[in-house]
């Protein structure tokens, strides 16, 4: 028996197999990390020289070969601001339900959970279609017929923000729910023991203790929303605008869309490339700084509740 | 683990509490309602294409140039040629000729939809979704072939072999990749991967021929087909480039979820296996991986869902030509990319617009089914399996 085993262990086939089964995972991990590092370095290397104050503060000129991307940054920030105003309250309420009110096995709570998970998996382009079909064509048109106007039933900033807020809803819900669950049970018990009602407990004790969690959810949602292009392509993003948007029914410039159009439809692709790298780096830095902040806050929450 | 609802159980009835609870419940049902709304409204905008109530499909503006009212003839199975017929990105003005009676009209629409040419702009628009389906399939397949082995193996390394500090490098790095907006990945493909793949494939042409020879030797009767699939073409943009881009988007999903599944396998499994004399790698591949298989399958499924519906990368890196071809080195056009590039330019309410929403229904249904599968089947199975452990 032992001999057989030894024989097996010394056969070249066994040797190769054991080397492969430890080597391949190591190789994949190293490859993956190097690939991502390369990706990051590529954008930093090509993009960093182009980021100047002029670039960040001026409008594009001369087919995007000169000037900056300020209108795109402005549009994106405006968009995600409205998006979080619309999405975060709903997401927080859903998270409160899931964490404080839901009974684990009830049909309703299970379907809410299923709804959230499904929403997280719907392709972003479908949200774009939804934005056109529901917000612009249905709600916008209804408002227009009711108020005798014509400004709402066309793609605009408010509808793009609404579409994105639906898209980022799962992000908010998951983050806030995690924060709510990290609030120690003793706090709730103490509040209830002092005679507070359920809602008083939630509003005065649980929510203040998970404010950072709500902040995390908002930041993550903004990071996600700022980078999504597919949903806003036909719900209000435009390639260039004469002036900055100042009302909710205006169209807007969007950084991701700007990059997309420059990359695929630019009349002078080679000359626009440096500025394009720079705008890509700005978008990346925006996304990463948001994600990093969120990760940092999360870490702090976890530490403080341990 | 979570007993909040138990804590609250005995409370007196109060009207204000009641109102608040129901408000919160109502808000919580929002995400379920949205799912329904998405379905209903995308369905509505597809103009009842499904039930053949295509009477309303008549375009609002019919151009007067169209005098020859020929009935819809069967679309010829010709391969769309990108050199002669580049899809012009102009606002569509000319509407399709639809034959007179409504029945044959809807019938011919369906025949049109399932034909093999996608050419929505032109005198006789062709809405065959076959090339789009094949394109989506090819790109998804390539991205999975690229992403799945890489991320599962890396997850195995991370979960079982790596030291703690190495794990602390790998996991955040992959999360960095998850934070990349897809338009950035698409741009990356456009500026670097395209040329890289082109050079590599030109270099590898003989190897591809050998692989094709080998496969046709293993599987009889596949000779011609496999050679046509693996012949390198001169196109720069192809499903391989798009697949690599989508793979980059999919890697974080597969890696994170399968790493979770792998490290949630109870430690006792590993200890038992090691105690029986198995090596670390045998334990990882023969004990831990099979135990976590449902989770890993869920990860791959979610990856498929992402690759299937990803728009920007597919839009930027695949060449966007709706070729009817199985060759993975030909440019392709996916369902999502078609919606993304054409919905902005189509006349709202036209047949083309309806069909784009029909494609949206397809995307939505596939993602819905994938989610339901992972949710109802895989996760439950996994949690049941480890309950006693």
Pairing relationship of beta strands A60-61 and A66-67 according to DSSP bridges? antiparallel
CA A265/CA A64 separation, integer angstroms: 12
CA dihedral B140, B358, B338, B362 (to 10 degrees): -10
Any idea which residue has 């009767």 for tokens?
Answer: B221
Q: What tens digit of pLDDT does each residue of B330-361 get?
A: 888 888 888 888 887 787 777 888 888 888 88
Are B309 and A103 inside 8 Å of each other by CB?
no
- Cα B280 to Cα A156: distance, rounded to the nearest angstrom: 57
- When the pLDDT of each residue in chain B is averaged and rounded to a whole number, the result is 77
- Do B179 and A18 make contact, defined as CB atoms within 8 angstroms? no
| Alpha carbons B357 and B227: distance in angstroms, whole number | 36
Higher pLDDT, residue B134 or A2: B134
Spatial distance between the Cα atoms of A121 and B192, rounded to a whole number of angstroms: 29
Pairing of strands A252-253, A237-238: parallel
Tell me if B357 sits within 8 A of B47, measured CB to CB: yes
Which residues from chain A sit within 8 angstroms of residue B31, using beta carbons? 94, 112, 115-116, 119, 169-170, 173
Residue B155: what pLDDT? 94
Nearest by CB to residue B343, choosing from A129, A263, A283, is: A129
Q: Which residue of B has its CA nearest to A189?
A: B7
Show residues of chain A in contact with B183, CB under 8 Å: 227, 229, 256-257, 259-260, 283
Residues 6+ apart with CB under 8 A from B349: B59, B60
**How confident is the model at residue A90, as a pLDDT?**
93
Indicate the pLDDT class of residue B225, thresholds 50, 70 and 90. Answer: confident
| Rg value, chain B, Cα | 26
CA angle centred on A196, ends A195 and A197, rounded to 5°: 115
| Alpha-carbon gap, residue A102 to B2, rounded angstroms | 11
Could you tell me the two tokens for B157?
């390394």
How many degrees, rounded to 5, is the angle at CA A161 between CA B48 and CA B90?
Answer: 55
Lowest mean pLDDT among A167-176, B6-15, B114-123: B6-15
3-state secondary structure of B314: helix
Q: What angle do CA B344, B345, B351 make, to 5 degrees?
A: 100
**For residue A129, which residues of chain B lie inside 8 Å, CB to CB?**
42, 45, 339, 343, 356-357, 360
Nearest to B22 by CA among A93, A88, A192: A93
Cβ–Cβ below 8 Å for B28 and A22:
no
Q: What pLDDT is attached to residue A2?
A: 58
Give the burial class of A53: count Cβ atoms within 10 A of its Cβ; 0-12 exposed, 13-18 middle, 19 or more buried: exposed
User: B18: number of CA atoms within 13 Å, CB side?
Assistant: 4
Q: Do B173 and A32 touch (CB under 8 A)?
A: yes
β-bridge partners, A61: A66
- What integer pLDDT is reported at residue A164 of this predicted model? 93
User: B294 and B382 in contact (C-beta within 8 Å)?
Assistant: yes
Tell me which DSSP letter residue A253 carries. E
**pTM as predicted:** 0.82
Write the DSSP assignment of A1-24 as a string of letters.
-HHHHHHHHHSHHHHHHHHHHHHH
Per-residue pLDDT tens over the stretch B309-323: 888 898 888 877 777
């Amino acid at each position: 028996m032992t001999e057989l085993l030894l024989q097996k262990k010394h056969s070249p086939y066994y040797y190769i197999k054991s080397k492969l089964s430890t080597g391949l995972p190591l190789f994949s991990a190293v490859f993956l990390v190097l690939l991502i590092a390369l990706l990051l370095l590529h954008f930093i290397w090509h993009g960093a020289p182009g980021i100047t104050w002029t670039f960040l503060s001026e409008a594009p000129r001369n087919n995007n070969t000169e000037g900056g991307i300020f209108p795109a940054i402005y549009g994106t920030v405006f968009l995600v601001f409205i998006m979080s105003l619309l999405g975060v309250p709903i997401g927080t309420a859903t998270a409160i339900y899931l964490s404080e009110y839901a009974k684990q096995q009830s049909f309703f709570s299970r379907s809410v959970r299923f709804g959230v998970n499904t929403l997280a998996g719907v392709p972003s382009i479908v949200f774009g279609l939804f934005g056109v079909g529901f917000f612009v064509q249905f709600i916008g048109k209804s408002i227009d017929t009711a108020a005798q106007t014509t400004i709402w039933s066309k793609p605009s900033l408010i509808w793009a923000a609404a579409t994105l807020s639906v898209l980022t809803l799962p992000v908010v819900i998951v983050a806030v729910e995690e924060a709510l669950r990290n609030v120690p049970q003793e706090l709730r018990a103490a509040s209830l023991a002092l005679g507070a009602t359920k809602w008083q407990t939630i509003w005065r004790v649980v929510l203040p203790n998970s404010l950072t969690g709500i902040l995390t959810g908002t930041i993550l949602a903004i990071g996600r929303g700022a980078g999504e292009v597919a949903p806003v392509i036909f719900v209000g993003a435009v390639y260039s605008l004469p002036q900055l948007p100042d009302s909710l029914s205006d169209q807007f410039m969007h950084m991701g869309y700007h990059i997309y159009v420059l990359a695929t439809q630019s009349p002078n692709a080679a000359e626009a490339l440096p500025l394009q790298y720079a705008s890509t780096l700005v978008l990346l830095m925006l996304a990463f700084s948001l994600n990093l902040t969120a990760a940092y806050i999360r870490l702090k929450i976890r530490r403080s509740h341990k | 683990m979570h007993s909040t609802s138990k804590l609250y159980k005995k409370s007196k009835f109060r009207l204000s509490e009641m109102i608040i609870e129901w408000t919160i419940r109502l808000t919580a049902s929002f995400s379920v309602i949205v799912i329904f709304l998405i379905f209903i409204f995308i369905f509505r905008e597809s103009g009842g294409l499904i039930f053949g109530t295509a009477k309303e499909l008549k375009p609002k503006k019919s151009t007067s140039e169209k005098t020859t009212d020929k009935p819809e003839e069967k679309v010829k199975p010709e391969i769309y040629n990108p050199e002669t017929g580049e899809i012009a990105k102009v606002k569509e003005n000319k509407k399709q000729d639809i034959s007179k009676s409504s029945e044959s009209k809807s019938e011919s629409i369906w025949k049109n939809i399932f034909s093999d040419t996608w050419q929505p702009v032109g005198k006789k628009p062709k809405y065959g979704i076959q090339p789009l389906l094949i394109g989506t399939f090819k790109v998804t397949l390539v991205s999975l072939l690229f992403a799945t082995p890489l991320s599962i193996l890396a997850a195995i390394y991370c979960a079982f072999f790596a030291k703690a500090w190495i794990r602390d490098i790998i996991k955040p790095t992959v999360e960095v990749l998850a934070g990349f907006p897809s338009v950035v990945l698409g741009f990356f493909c456009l500026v670097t991967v395209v040329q890289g793949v082109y050079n590599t494939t030109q270099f590898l042409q003989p190897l591809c021929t050998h692989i094709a020879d080998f496969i046709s030797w293993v599987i009889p009767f596949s000779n011609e087909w496999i050679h046509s699939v693996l012949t390198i073409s001169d196109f720069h943009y192809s499903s391989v480039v798009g697949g690599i881009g989508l793979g980059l988007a999919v890697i974080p999903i597969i890696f994170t979820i399968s790493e979770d599944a792998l490290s949630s396998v109870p430690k006792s499994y590993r200890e038992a296996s090691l105690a029986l004399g198995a090596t670390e790698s045998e334990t990882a591949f023969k004990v831990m991986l099979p135990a976590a298989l449902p989770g890993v399958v869920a990860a791959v499924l979610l990856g498929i869902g992402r690759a299937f519906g990803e728009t920007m990368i597919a839009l930027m890196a695949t060449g966007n030509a709706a070729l009817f071809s199985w060759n993975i080195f030909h440019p392709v056009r996916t369902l999502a990319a078609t919606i993304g590039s054409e919905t902005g330019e189509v006349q709202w309410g036209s047949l083309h617009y309806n069909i784009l929403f029909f494609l949206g229904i397809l995307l939505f249904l596939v993602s819905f089914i994938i989610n339901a599968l992972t949710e109802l089947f895989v996760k439950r199975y996994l949690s049941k399996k480890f309950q006693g452990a």
